[in-house]
Amino acid sequence: MEFLRLDAGVAVRAEGGPEGSRILRLLVGNPLIMSQMARHVPDAAAYAPVTILVVEGSDGVRLSYDTMASLLSSYGSQEASKVAEDLDAKVEGLMTAAAS
């Protein structure tokens, strides 16, 4: 589910960056998956929905994403980490499909 779409490229262009700078920040997620993580680590709600960054430059388009597993690793919850790893696989699959 897409929660929010932010055109971060506006700020780059406003500061005199390249006219073609396109940076899009997408906040996406599934409330059910977030609640499964937050049951074990309430702070997981601070990281969900996840952010996917789409950057279009002269060298092509890049997608980036901070993995949920890396964000939750310091909490030491195996249960939350398992849900986060499954979520990361889904997001990475979505990004791979979008890039194809």
28: containing domain: 2-99
Q: How much is the pLDDT for 9?
A: 85
Q: Kindly state the helix (H) or strand (E) to which residue 11 belongs, with its residue range.
A: helix 9-14
CA distances to 6, 29, 37, 51, 52 from 73, in Å: 27, 19, 12, 18, 19
H/E segment holding residue 80: helix 78-99
- Residue 100 has a pLDDT of 84
φ/ψ (deg, to 5) at 18: -55, 135
- Between 58 and 78, the more confident residue is 78
pLDDT at 1 over 80: yes
Q: How many CB atoms lie within 10 A of CB 47?
A: 19
Is 21 or 45 the better-scoring residue by pLDDT?
45
Whether 66 shows a pLDDT value over 90: the answer reads: yes
Task: Report the distance separating Cα 81 and Cα 88, nearest Å.
Answer: 10
Structural domain total, the chain: 1
CATH number for the domain that contains residue 6: 3.30.310.70
Mean pLDDT for the stretch of residues 18-46: 89
pLDDT number for residue 48 = 87
Q: Hey, is 94 helix, strand or coil?
A: helix
